[in-house]
Each structure stands twice: as structure tokens, then as C-alpha cells.
Chain A
Amino acid sequence: MVDSVSLEVISNALLSIAEEAGETLVRAAYSSNIKERRDCSTAIFDSRGRLVALAQHIPVHFGSMLGLVQEVLRRYGPEDLHPGDMFIANDPYCGGGTHLPDITLASPVFADNRLVGFVANIGHHADRRSWATSIFEEGLRIPPIKLLSNYSIRQDVLDLVLTNYRVPHQRLGDLRAQIAANLLAEQRLLQLIRKYGYPLVTECMDGYLKYSARRMQAALQALPDGCWESQDQLDDDGVSDEPVVIRVRVMKSGGMLKFDFSGSSPQREGNINMVWNALVAMVYYCVKAFLDPELPQNAGVFDCIEIVAPPGTVVNALPPAAVDSRTETCQRVADVILEALGQARPERAVAMSHGTNTTINLSGIHPDTGEFYSYLETFGGGSGARSNKDGMDAVQVHATNSSNLPVECLELEYPILIERYELVPDSGGAGKYRGGLGLRRDLRILAPEVVLTGHGDRHKTAPRGLHGGRGGATSWLRVQRADGTIEILPSKPKRVVLRKGDLLSVVTPGGGGFGNPLERDRRLVLKDLTEGRITAACAATDYGLAREEVVEDQFAETYAKREVE
């Protein structure tokens, strides 16, 4: 067995390679989505296709990484793998991916004709966004095929790929960066082998997976044996009004942890379906977040995890289900898993968070330039309250952690004026510990015609609280037309036309509360009241604050008046 110092030093070196490749990818990338939002990941796999080391910024990428190399090995025998090969894939059903914009490149690495493992990376190619009801309409599907052979690009394959995108030169720039990152990772891995030798490095890959399994086992010790359930629903899938049920049963028995999603809704026509790899990523996210935030990100942790999800359900969709807005479902899957796990260890529990990935896309022709533009923004909301403290106000949770665009930059670029960007009072679920507040953004349309498409959820059901904590507030989306009429929009608006002078208001949900609100520290209730995070009415009814205790926010009246406007 490898000694613990060599294992730490070499696993650190493997992570270092993944990180260096990641920095190279970001640096050389062309599109701002990869360059500035760092929407990419890099990884190293062993010769059996098991993920060993991952440098990532987006939790859901973990699933695509797990799936890809397995898929390559399933399709290509040892005789088909050669030094200088590089595979490209993006398909959720046969390419290991979770949605089409994530393009993965993977290369086998050989030392003296022996397969050491694979290096791979994912880049999110934010080229197109279309609302569709089948995977065939969502974009180009790529199964694992060779983009490089003997270290040279296969021009025919590249042409096929580039032909399918709107901004091919950006795609080419990003793909080149991805290729460069893999080549660098290959070089570094070979250097590592020259320094420590093939046997020690491969032994350490295996050892690191075993270590991760041990660490996972150690984390599992903190859970009692038992079975815990949770169920929740999405408002709809954007096509029919029927709610989408997500159900999980978590079973811990000895050294095994089983997640059973039986009872979740059949897959839907709307594009909120998750494929298997996305589900695995969310299970992993929850296990790491709940049991051990420092858990290594590799395949070793799955030695003691079993996932059951009937094929053809919304959490394990089959082709041709559309998947583009899968993050809506991902967020809810995380909420229900965490709620179930929270029953096992209440001191680590978290109430439900805002549970959506509220996204709007405004596009049209810019009146000043005459050019087409497309403005995409995702919104945070309240995070769930915790066993010993409040939830966070207005943050991204679970599957995503993307930044907003600076107002001063987006107004410069798009015909939009942001009129308010603020926390929503009373939106955090009341509790001994309060849920985080949702946020509100008002956007005034300055162009003659703008098309709105987007997705969100929680218009109908609120994020639940825990142990007597109340639910967070629901969300809403509406447009106040220039003539003053108000239209309530659905959570998943499709091609809604907005016109000059219209005001679009986006409000995201708050997080659930934790514990009985009457037990909340009075000083915290008063602080929330003074700071306008709760209103006097809420302080009295939810928190039982006596009228004479109420010290109003001096500005509450001003802000309340505005609400009426």
C-alpha cells in the first residue's frame, strides 16, 4: 500500500495538474462565459475511466465528468485508443453530458504504450438558447467522436461542429482553449510519471479513490441507520399546468447510503428533465455539502452510494426528453435530499432554499446600433435557515453560483434601465432562525420591442421551513405595461413581447425558516424590524412581538409607499 505522505503529495500533484489546466483553459478561452464566468471544469481519470481529480466551479459539471470517459470506454476498445486522440461529446443521453451547451473533450494518456488514464475538460458554449420540447430541437448532439487523431485536428469533424453554431469563431476559440488545456494536462501527467514512475502514480490514483471512499465512510459514521423521505413539487414544466413531483427516500444502513427517487413524476414535455448524470451530480453535491464539505471530488465516494431512479422519470429522463432548463429540477432535487438528510442529523439540517434557478433572457434589436442582442441573467434568492443561524439573503444556491451582471455594464450594453434591485421584506420564512430573503429586480424596457423567455419556479408552492419554521415567500413575475395595466406572467415565460415603457418585475422566493418563530431571540426580531427585513405586521403576527416593543424602521413608510406605486 502507498504511504500516506506519497499519497498526499501525488494526489495534490494530480489536483494541481487539473487546476493548472483549468487556469489555462480560462486564460485561453475566447467567450466571456468561460473567460469571466469560469463556466468550465478540468479533470483527470484513471485507466478504468474513474474520475480521480477535478478542478471545477460548477457543481453540476461533476456529473458530466463522471459520465464521459465511461461512455468513451464503452464505445472504443483498447485497440481504438491511441496517444494523440481527443474525443469530443456533449450529448446527455450518449455523450455523458447533462445538457448540450456543455462540450467535453477527453484524451487518453499513454506512458510507454501503457494507458495511464484520461485528461478531460468541459466548457460551456453559450451560443444558443432555444426553448424546445425534445432534445433534437435543442441543438447539435455529439456522441463521443475523435476530434483529434495523432495530435492533429480532424478538420471534417471540426467543420461539422462549427457549422452548427451562431458564432463559430467564438466556438473555435473556446475549443482551441479546451484542446490546449488537455494537451497541457497530458504533458504534466507524463512529467509526474517521469518523476515518480508509472507504478507509484497509478497506485496513487487508485489509492486516492480508496482514500476518498474511506473519508466518505468516516463521514457516514455520523449518520444513524435509518430511512428518511421527502417530497416536493415544481409548479409545472412550462407546457402543462400539472405539477412535477420530486420524491426521494434516503436509506442509511451500515456503510451504505441509498437514494431512491421512485415516485418522482414521469419525464415531461417541458425542458425541465434531468438525465442520470445530472442526478448523480446533485446527489454528490448534497452528500458533500451535508456530510463533509472537504470531501474529495472523485469517483471513490460512490463506493458506498447507491442511486435508484426509474428510467423515464423527470430525474432520469430518456430520449427524446428536452433538458435545457434542468437546473430548475436540480435545485429542487437538492432541496428534497437535504430535507431528508436533515431528519437524520437535525444539527446539520437546512430548511429549503429558494429552490429555483430563476433566469430571464431578453433579446431583440438594439435601437441604437441596429444589432441583435441577447441579455441573460440568473437570479439568486433566499437560502434556507440553519439549525443555529439564519439563511443567507439573496444568494445563488446548490447547483449554481453564477454572478449577476453589473448594472452599470448591462445598461450600457442593452436597452434596459434597472429601477430597483433589492431584498424583499418578509420573504424569509419566519422561524427561530429566519430564512434568507428573496430579491426583486425591476427592469424598464427602453427599446420598441423586446422578447422575454425564461424559467423559474415557486410561483405556487413555497420553500418549506423545518421544525416549526414557516415557509419562505413564493416568487412572481409580472409586467406593468406602459399604459399601467398589469399582467401576471407564468414562471416559465416563452416569447413574451415587451414594449418600450413596460416594467418587468422579477421576484425570487425566500428561504424556509428553522424552528418556532416565537423562540427567536427578541433582539434579532427587533434588529430585523429596525432594518426593515420584516414588517411590523410580521413581527406581531409571526414573531408575537408586542405592539409596544415595535420600533419601526424610520424609512419603512417611505419604502412602503413605493410598494403601492
Chain B
Amino acid sequence: MYRVGVDVGGTFTDICCIDDDTGELRIAKVPSTPLNQALGVCMGISRVIEQCGESSAVSVGYLAHGTTVATNAVLERRGATVGCVVTRGFRDLLEIGRQRRPHLYDLYADKPAPLVPRNLRVEVEERLLPSGEPLQRLDPEAVRSILKVLNSQAELQALAICLLYSFGNGEHERIVQRVAEEVLPGIFISSSHDVCPEIREFERLSTTCLNAYVGPVMNRYLRHLEKAVSQYVAAAPLLMQSNGGLITVDEACRYPVRTLFSGPAAGVVGARYFGQLAGFRSLITLDIGGTSADISFVQEGRIAESSEGEIEGWPVKVPMVNIHSIGAGGGSIAHVDPGGLLKVGPASAGASPGPACYGRGGVEPCVTDAQVVLGRLNPGYLVGGDLKLDYEAAVRAVGKIAETMKVDLTAAASGVISVTRSNLVRAMRRFLAARGLDPRDFALLAYGGAGPLHAAELAEELGISTVIIPPIPGVLCAFGLLVAGVRRDFVATSVVALNEGSLESIMGIYRDLEGQAIRWAQGQNVDVSRASILKQARMRYRGQGHELSVTLTGDLTSLGLRGVLEAFHREHKRCYGFDAPDETVEFVTAVVSLHADTLARPVVLVGRQKGCGPKERLTRTVFFDGGPLPCPIYRREELPPGEEIKEPAVVEQLDATVLVPPGWQAHVDRFLNLVLARR
């Protein structure tokens, strides 16, 4: 049986295929088809199946997919026409939000245009109290007449419903939903008590509206995709979510907001997999692509999580992999600013036209151009298999910087790399410091087209002594899809002081959520015996404005009140450096995550050139911080497990180039990771 992972990116659609019987991995890259991503997906699947020597794809028993359809709909503002129902008095909540302006100093910056225009946001007469008790009951007939008027305002494609305190009592929202199903038949409905049953009205409303905004688009795409791939694949596709776990097409259709950050999340899942094979349970992961760098971490085998993210200024309150993205990639443009300093990014030449060396009409000096000038990238090299780099174009572009700075070409190029590195180091330090983490306690796992080029020098600056480059750094997101499990989070909010009196009701909440999780798993044909359940509690000291997520190990009965309290104090101390055992702890949100492995056994990559040893094809001059050095060039696929590489060296492979700078040495582990160690 084959397992296939397909990840759609801006330029390429990446495919990873593993033969479950032999462990052999095949990868393919096909151009993405932005107008209908399904075309590229199908093309990629058939390409990789051909490589397997199979005539048809019926032997594909597993298909996992990461898509940017929902994300692009938000970024390009091509979502549905949405109506929105809120509590009386709160028509403008979506626009007022947290009343912060988008930029502290830019007087010409703007807030994002509302996802639902003001005339399509309507109020219903109803009000719940913080306890969930109704202060004013909702009249279904009033809802009916309001929805009729709303329907006459525009051709609605979706409806978002978000009433105050619905996280604790969804009854009024359910009434609105029932009436809407009658008055607006066939419309996509997103109710906040279902999509995001969490406290804080604006974040819940924003999440609910985003879900409605991308709902119709995602439904069209996924239903089409399902049909299209069924010609090739026996298995029903699974979709990647922002939390690093997979869900079915039906679930993704209902909760498309959960897929908004799925691509980067899959990458971190893949990174953890190779990091663990290499024997490292704590990793900083760094994915550098064309326009941005994504930073995340894995601590003691657990992927960093966050309960909230943001897209285009809109809060998204769903559990997700904690990823920090900055505008630093291979396509980032270098320039000398009005004060005479060399700056890199955040403007980017992106994939099109791309860096000057791509020869697609780009003329701005990009980071990749500097790498070419410095001999770090092979000018005769093929990017993604089909693009030859244009050395002369890179020289011309970087030459402009050299001229402005009045230095020679390589000094300018080195400058571009140094500045890029300092930008990355600054972002990484800040991200880690905010979480109380010391980079020296981690190994750095770098991937993406450009990650392996920068990794060792970044590690040097951060005091990190080990760098891991997985065997397939350019398609790690697609690989992550192969090894990710199924995951679904169930949340419930109930704000109570945590004490003997409230413990029983809290235990009831967890029992209820676990019941939901298991029923869900059975309904999805998930092998419950392979499933694990993770319980988390979001709590705070009374008076704090944000909650801290604490993992509850073991069942609550045996943990008891003291166990839960201690877990919170401990986590607070670990994260923030202090605890306050005398203060009241408030329980806010219960999270139950069901995770089920889909992998029958570990993927073991087969070494491709066992025993044939590396041939040094050529040597070229590469410029490092200390100056030019002759540097042997290795082909990654010719390096067998156990091979040692001395500094300095360049290791080239189809989808990336690894730099082994002076002061570092590398070896290939038995899983084909290239592990760099500081001497």
C-alpha cells in the first residue's frame, strides 16, 4: 500500500509517497494550479504513482492533503458574502474589535475591511448573563422577520451567528440556526457555540465569521477534490489542520477555519519526526522559503501550541501550532536605506519574478542572488529540477548594492547574508525569550529551500551546537502529512474558581468532552485502540487577563484538586518565573484532544546509495564570513549513512543546498539526516 501526502504551496505542489511495505520514499514537485488546486493535486498524484511503476493509483490507501484554499480566500479577500447575527447592541463588535490601530506610527495604515459589511450584520433582541441564564429570551418569530429583511439585502452565501455567552449556553444560537435553515435554505451556517465555544466575544465572533467567510469556497473545492481524486485513489482524503492533525473532508467542510495555517503546521510535524529519529526531542524548527521564514519549536517531543492566531488582522481562536513568521526568505530584497544602512526585506520578489538569478525578469538584488555570488549556491544548479540559475544576473543585481555601498561585489553579497542572519537571529531570540526558552537547550532543524543554507551560521550566533538537515528539506510539509495523525480538539468554557466545590462540575465537563471525542472517533472510523486523549486546562490567577494552558496527566479523580492546582502553579512558575500559591485560581476552558496515529509503523527511509561512498565531483570557491575558501561539493544522495564530512563543504541536493561552514562538521545518520555539529 502507498501513502501519499500532497502539500499545495504558492509555486509548487509537493508530493511525498511512501511504500508502506518497503519504506521507500518518492517525492515529486509539480507546478501549483491556483485557479483550481485540485488539478495540480491530481497531476502530482499521478506523477508520483508513475514513479512507483504502478499503472493506476488504486493501491494508494492513504491520502493526506494540505491546502491553501481557505487561506488564499482570506488573503485575497475572495470569500463568501456573509450575513451575521449578533446580540442586541453589538452590531459593530466586528469592527470595533479591541479598538487598537494596526500600526503605532503609520498614519496611513488601515484596519482590515470587515469580513461582513455593516448592513449585513443584524441584531436580535436577546441577552444572556455571564452565568448563561437568559436575561431576555429570544423570540424565534422576531428572528424570522429579521432574517427575511437580511436576505433581501444581498445574495447571502453564508451566515455567522455569534451571541454573547453562547460558549456557556448555545440555546439561543441554536434557535437562530434553526430559523435560518428555514428562511435561508442551503446556506452555509457557522455558529459560534459550535465553531469556537470560548470566552471573549470579539475573538469568538471573528473566528465564526472567518469560518463563514471561507466555508462556501472550501466546500466547493473539497467536494470537487473528493470527486477528482477518487479516480486515482481508493482512500478518502484527509485534510491538515492548523493544529498539526488531520480531519476528514466532511469536518473540514464544516470547520474550514481550522485549516488556515495547515501548511506550516505540517512542516513542524515533519520536522519533529526527523528530529526524533536523529535522537533530539527538543528542537527549534526553521523553515525558510522564498518570502518568509517560519520559526517554531518542539519541546520534549511536544510541538509548541497556541490557542489563538491571527490572519490579516483577524483573530483566529482555534488550537494551532505556534509558528512565528517573519518576512525573511530567499526572495527578500536588499536595499540601502535613506540613512545609508544596508537593509534586507521585508519586501520580497517572491516566486515571480523571483530573485534576479532565476532569470524570470527579476532585477532587484535578493538574498538568493547574494548566495549565488558567494558561490554558496551552484550557478549551474537546477532549482526544483527545472530552473537553471543565472550567475550573471545575480552579479548585476548585487552589483547595484556594491556600487551604492562603494564596496566590492563579494563584500556586498556577504553584507546581505550577514544582515539577513541578524534579522533571523533577532526574531528567533525574541520568540524564544517570550517563552522563557534558551536556544542552547535545543537542536536546530532547518528546512525549506533556503533553511539549510543559513542553518549552521545561525546556530553559531544562537549558541546552538547541533543542526539537523532532514533528508528531504524541500518537501518536509508534504512529508509531515504522511506521518501526522488524526486529531480533533473539543473545548468547553466555564469560568469558575477552582476549589473543592467546583471540581465535580469541572470533572463533568471533561467526562462530557471525552464522551464527545470517543463518539466522534467512532463516527470517523478511527481505530479507538490507537487513539490517545490529551486533556488540557486553561486557567489563570483571578484578575489575570489571559489563561495559561496546563496539561493534565492522568484522570482528574486521582489528580484531585491539589494535583490540578499544583500543575497550574508549576506551569506558571516554569513559564513566567513565579507562582502565587495563595491566590485564587480560576478555571476557564477545558480542552480534550483526541489524537490517533495513522501510521502502522515508522517510516524508515531507504538509503539510496548504500556503500558506494561520496565522490567529490568538484571543488569551488565559497565565501564565508572569514573569506573565500576552496570547498568540496557533495551530492546528498551519494552520501551513505555513517559518512563524515569535514569543514568547509557544500552538500547539494535536488531541493536544497546545505552549507557546512568552518568550525562545523557533518555526518549522515542511519535515517539519512545530515547532522552538523560544532567543533
Q: A16-B429, A411-B130 are in contact. Are A32 and B343 (CB under 8 A)?
A: no
Q: Are B433 and A392 in contact (CB under 8 A)?
A: no
Q: Are B99 and A403 in contact (CB under 8 A)?
A: yes
- Nearest first, the 4 closest Cβ-Cβ pairs linking A and B are A215-B339, A420-B89, A218-B338, A5-B415
Q: Are B90 and A421 in contact (CB under 8 A)?
A: yes
Q: A216-260 interface mask toward B, CB cutoff 8 Å, 1 = contact, 0 = none?
A: 001100000000000000000000000000000000000000000
- Interfacial chain A residues near B199, Cβ < 8 Å: 406, 408-409
Q: Are A555 and B122 in contact (CB under 8 A)?
A: yes
B118 contacts the other chain (CB 8 A): yes
User: CB within 8 A of A401: which of B100, B419, B433?
Assistant: B100
Q: Can you pick out 28 interface pairs between chain A and chain B where the beta carbons lie within 8 Å of each other? A: A11-B341, A13-B422, A19-B430, A20-B430, A27-B434, A32-B544, A35-B545, A35-B576, A36-B544, A211-B340, A211-B341, A215-B338, A350-B107, A380-B99, A386-B108, A394-B96, A394-B99, A395-B101, A408-B130, A408-B199, A408-B201, A420-B89, A442-B89, A532-B119, A533-B118, A553-B119, A554-B152, A554-B153
Residue of B nearest to A404 (CB): B99
B611 contacts the other chain (CB 8 A): no
State the CA gap A315–B423 with chains docked (Å): 39
Number of interface residues of B (CB under 8 A): 72
Q: Are B426 and A4 in contact (CB under 8 A)?
A: no
- Interfacial chain B residues near A338, Cβ < 8 Å: 107
- Interfacial chain A residues near B430, Cβ < 8 Å: 16, 19-20, 23
Shortest Cβ distance from residue A85 to the other chain B in the assembled complex, whole angstroms: 23
State the CA gap A544–B129 with chains docked (Å): 45
State the CA gap A28–B108 with chains docked (Å): 35
User: CB within 8 A of A289: which of B106, B110, B341, B405?
Assistant: B106
B91 contacts the other chain (CB 8 A): yes
State the CA gap A559–B101 with chains docked (Å): 27
B479 contacts the other chain (CB 8 A): no
State the CA gap A23–B437 with chains docked (Å): 11
In chain B between 178 and 201, which residues have their CB closer than 8 angstroms to a CB of chain A? 199-201
A212 contacts the other chain (CB 8 A): yes
Q: Are B164 and A394 in contact (CB under 8 A)?
A: no
Q: A32-B544, A285-B105, A396-B101 are in contact. Are A409 and B200 (CB under 8 A)?
A: yes
Shortest Cβ distance from residue A530 to the other chain B in the assembled complex, whole angstroms: 5
- Interfacial chain B residues near A293, Cβ < 8 Å: 103, 105-107
Shortest Cβ distance from residue B421 to the other chain A in the assembled complex, whole angstroms: 8
User: CB within 8 A of B96: which of A35, A215, A439?
Assistant: A439
B575 contacts the other chain (CB 8 A): yes
A98 contacts the other chain (CB 8 A): no
- Interfacial chain A residues near B104, Cβ < 8 Å: 57, 59, 401
Shortest Cβ distance from residue B650 to the other chain A in the assembled complex, whole angstroms: 23
State the CA gap A392–B405 with chains docked (Å): 40
Q: A387-411 interface mask toward B, CB cutoff 8 Å, 1 = contact, 0 = none?
A: 0010011111100011111111101
Chain B CB within 10 A, most for which of A30, A350, A407: A407
Q: Are A7 and B105 in contact (CB under 8 A)?
A: no
- Interfacial chain A residues near B415, Cβ < 8 Å: 4-5, 8
State the CA gap A288–B106 with chains docked (Å): 8
8 additional A-B pairs beyond A20-B430, A406-B201, A439-B92, beta carbons within 8 Å, are A12-B422, A19-B430, A32-B543, A392-B110, A396-B99, A406-B203, A407-B201, A531-B117
B19 contacts the other chain (CB 8 A): no
In chain B between 400 and 423, which residues have their CB closer than 8 angstroms to a CB of chain A? 405, 407, 411, 414-415, 418-419, 422-423
State the CA gap A394–B95 with chains docked (Å): 8
Residue of B nearest to A532 (CB): B118
Q: Are A8 and B343 in contact (CB under 8 A)?
A: yes
Residue of B nearest to A424 (CB): B92
Q: Are B91 and A422 in contact (CB under 8 A)?
A: yes
State the CA gap A69–B152 with chains docked (Å): 64
Residue of B nearest to A384 (CB): B107
